[in-house]
């Protein structure tokens, strides 16, 4: 079963992994420089890790920075993420402020996809409907940096995210054994076959889970994260290495 989203001139597909490079920077200048580096490297998607921004709560600066990013990323997909400390990010943030910033960003029209940690908002489905009405695609996410849940528990997590109406369902887990990696891929494959109206993104983190980052297309995972400079999560490959491997696998 093939599922696609067309964003700008790029295609997100259950048949092909698109590489996303996180922009991990704190100042406006460093953010813009990293974005420029990604565009020059022909990266198809960037993730603005806003939990690193030292200007996150300054709406004027944030909006102007997003505008400038949009000018640079003419055909590059832009994912906006505030990764909370609870799910491995850099910021402890109250739900009200988290929602306010994300809602504001969705109204600017400067980003294409917004990451929403479903455990961080009480009424995720209603909130996602608002984001959709503002013109943004939504990636619902859940991260477990400690373990890989049992198969049925992961399927249930995908189901919870799917029930919110999100466009992309991301589950990132930490394997402690090789069986954990296989089980994560199995869950992704089963969910991809069952769900017709959403794409998935499946990741096993850490060194043990590296194979999941390049084998995503086998189970319908549409996005894999790689580092152009500094890695934003354990086990991330470099963009050049991942791009090379994926091109070889697609031959």
pLDDT at 237 exceeding the cut of 90: no
- Rounded mean pLDDT of 25-34? 97
The angle at the Cα of 106, spanning 102 to 108, to the nearest 5 degrees, equals 120
Which residue from 251, 248, 238, 194 is spatially nearest to 220, judged by alpha carbons? Answer: 194
- Helices 59-72, 28-40: crossing angle, 10 deg rounding: 20
- Rounded mean pLDDT of 198-220? 90
pLDDT of residue 230: 60
- Rounded mean pLDDT of 39-55? 97
Token readout for 59 is 């709406």
pLDDT at 246 exceeding the cut of 90: no
Cα–Cα dist 15/244, whole Å:
17
pLDDT of residue 234: 63
- Rounded mean pLDDT of 51-63? 98
pLDDT at 134 exceeding the cut of 80: yes
Which residue from 86, 85, 80, 83 is spatially nearest to 103, judged by alpha carbons? Answer: 80
The residues near 3 (Cβ < 8 Å, ≥ 6 apart) are 13, 14, 196, 197, 198, 199, 220
Which residue from 144, 194, 238, 243 is spatially nearest to 1, judged by alpha carbons? Answer: 194
pLDDT at 2 exceeding the cut of 70: no
- Under a CB-based contact definition with an 8 Å cutoff, are residues 42 and 21 in contact? no
pLDDT > 90: what percent of the chain?
83
Cα–Cα dist 109/70, whole Å:
9
């Amino acid at each position: 079963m093939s599922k696609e989203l067309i964003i700008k001139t790029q295609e997100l597909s259950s048949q092909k992994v698109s590489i996303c490079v996180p922009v991990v920077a704190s100042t406006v200048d460093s953010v813009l420089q990293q974005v420029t580096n990604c565009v020059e490297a022909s990266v198809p998607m960037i993730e603005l890790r806003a939990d690193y921004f030292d200007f996150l709560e300054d709406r004027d600066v944030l909006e102007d920075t997003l505008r400038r990013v949009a000018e640079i990323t003419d055909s590059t997909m832009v994912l906006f993420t505030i990764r909370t400390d609870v799910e491995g990010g850099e910021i402890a943030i109250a739900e009200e402020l988290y929602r306010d910033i994300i809602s504001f960003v969705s109204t600017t029209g400067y980003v294409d996809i917004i990451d929403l940690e479903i455990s961080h908002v009480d009424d995720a489905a209603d909130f996602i409907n608002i984001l959709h009405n503002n013109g943004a695609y939504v990636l619902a996410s859940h991260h477990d940096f400690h373990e890989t849940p049992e198969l049925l528990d992961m399927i249930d997590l995908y189901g919870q995210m799917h029930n919110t109406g999100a466009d992309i369902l991301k589950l990132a887990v930490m394997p402690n054994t090789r069986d954990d990696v296989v089980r994560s891929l199995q869950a992704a494959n089963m969910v991809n076959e069952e769900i017709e109206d959403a794409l998935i993104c499946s990741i096993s983190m850490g060194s043990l889970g590296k194979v999941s980052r390049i084998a995503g297309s086998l189970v319908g995972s549409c996005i894999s994260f790689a580092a152009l400079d500094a890695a934003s999560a354990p086990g991330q490959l470099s963009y050049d290495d991942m791009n090379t491997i994926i091109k070889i696998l697609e031959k």
